[in-house]
């Protein structure tokens, strides 16, 4: 199978501050994402997952190392990359209704008329199951529904790569399971390449074709594990599958071990 690399990170380091107060968060992270792949990035708490995601999104600079998207170095948010943030209530704009919030994702897309953007926004709201809520405002929706609007905005921007920063961390458990399946369905339907950053091991394994496991600070890639469960997942049967349990065991062991260790020296 010919691998078409969409995103590649090489030796990313990030140090906050300088001198005595310097805090090295990223210790040299390298990994790649192929077109059509769903990659989960999971690591112990405080290992700089959001820093890493912001770096590959072009939202934050790194101290050293390079990010390339479609072969081009990333220095600012590139065209074709969309981000879904954890804080959905602040990432949507309260003065715009849901349709206009989704259409905002297409603000910089040329060659679409305002009417076409509206139609596309409606289509994306339909896709996330919010067909009847286009004229409502984000603050009239529950948290899970707001995050679905944010996902619709990400999808609407015709992104080649959708970056998800703990998108389900703030929703209740039942909504979270529903949204995991929704995200998987959308990823298949739109052949969307996704990178999901999460601290939830089960979620990381359940969602991904491949899991990138991080160490504690200064963070490097501990190992990667391919999840051989096919694209179609199911909340009950997938989670009982021996391959799921084995992968979960592997990742969990790595992360718990990281927690128990004394601070490792930077790679």
Partner 1 sequence: MSLSRRQESLRGLILPVAILLAWQVLAWRASTPLFPGPWQVTLSIWKFYPQIVGQIGYTLMRAASGFLVAAALMIPLGILLGRLKTVGAIVEPIMDMLATLPPPAVIPVVMLFAGTGDAAKISIIAYAAAVPLLMNTYEASKTLHPMANLVARSLRFSRLETMLRIDLPASLPMIATGLRLAVASALLVSVTAEMLLATNGIGVFIQRQQENFQIANGLAAIAFISIVGLIINNLVFQLEKRWLFWHYRSSDTHGNG
Single residue of 34, 68, 70, 87 touching partner 1 by CB under 8 A: 87
**Region from 85-93, 124-132, 185-193, 259-267 binding partner 1, contact rule CB under 8 A:** 85-93
- What token pair was written down for 150? 């944010």
How many chain residues are in contact with partner 1, going by CB under 8 A?
24
Distances (CA, A) of 57 to 6, 33, 66, 242: 13, 13, 12, 35
Residue 259's SS3 state is helix
Peptide bond preceding 63 in cis form (omega within 30 of 0): no
90 forms part of the interface with partner 1 (CB under 8 A): yes
Q: What are the CA-CA distances from residue 230 to residues 206, 233, 258 (Å)?
A: 11, 7, 29
> What per-residue string of b and e applies to 26-53 under the rule 16 or more CB within 10 Å gives b?
bbbbebbbbeebbbbbbbbeebbbbbbb
Residue 76 within binding range of partner 1, rule CB under 8 A:
yes
Residues 95-134 that bind partner 1 (CB under 8 A): 95, 104-105, 107-108
Nearer to partner 1, 48 or 105 (CB): 105
54 versus 244: smaller Cβ distance to partner 1 = 54
Distance CA 240, CA 224 (A): 22
Q: Which stretch binds partner 1 (CB under 8 A): 82-90, 196-204, 206-214, 247-255?
A: 82-90
3-state secondary structure of 155: helix
Q: Considering the rule CB under 8 A, would residue 139 count as an interface residue with partner 1?
A: yes
Choice between 93 and 126, CB closer to partner 1:
93
Q: Binding segment for partner 1 among 23-31, 136-144, 227-235, 239-247 (CB under 8 A)?
A: 136-144
Give the DSSP per-residue string, 35-89: TT-EEEEE--TTS-HHHHHHHHTTSS--SEEEEEETTEE-SS--TTEEEE-S-HH
Question: Is position 81 an interface residue for partner 1 (rule: CB under 8 A)?
Answer: yes
Taking the complex as a whole, how short is the minimal distance between the CB of residue 172 and partner 1, in angstroms? 21
Interface with partner 1 (CB under 8 A): 54, 57, 59, 76-77, 79, 81-83, 85, 87, 90-91, 93-95, 104-105, 107-108, 137, 139-140, 157
């Amino acid at each position: 199978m010919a691998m078409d690399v969409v995103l590649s990170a090489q030796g990313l380091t990030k140090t906050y501050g300088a001198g005595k107060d310097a805090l090295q968060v990223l210790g040299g992270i390298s990994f790649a994402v192929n077109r059509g792949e769903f990659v989960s990035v999971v690591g112990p708490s405080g290992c700089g997952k959001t820093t890493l995601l912001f770096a590959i999104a072009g939202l934050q600079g790194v101290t050293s190392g390079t990010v390339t998207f479609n072969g081009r170095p990333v220095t600012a948010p590139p065209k074709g990359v969309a981000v879904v943030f954890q804080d959905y209530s602040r990432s949507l704009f309260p003065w715009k209704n849901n349709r206009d919030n989704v259409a905002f994702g297409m603000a910089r897309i040329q060659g679409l008329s305002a009417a076409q953007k509206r139609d596309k926004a409606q289509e994306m709201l339909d896709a996330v199951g919010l067909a009847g809520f286009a004229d409502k405002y984000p603050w009239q929706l529950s948290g899970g529904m707001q995050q679905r609007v944010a996902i619709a905005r990400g999808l609407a921007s015709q992104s080649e790569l959708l970056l998800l920063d703990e998108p389900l961390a703030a929703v209740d458990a039942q909504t979270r399971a529903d949204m995991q399946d929704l995200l998987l369905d959308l990823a298949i339907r739109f052949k969307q390449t996704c990178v999901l950053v999460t601290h939830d091991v089960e979620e990381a394994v359940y969602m991904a074709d491949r899991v990138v496991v991080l160490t504690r600070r200064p963070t490097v890639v501990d190992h990667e594990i391919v999840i051989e469960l096919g694209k179609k997942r199911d909340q009950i049967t997938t989670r009982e599958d021996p391959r799921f349990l084995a992968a979960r065991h592997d990742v969990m062991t790595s992360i718990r071990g990281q927690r128990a260790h004394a601070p490792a020296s930077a790679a």
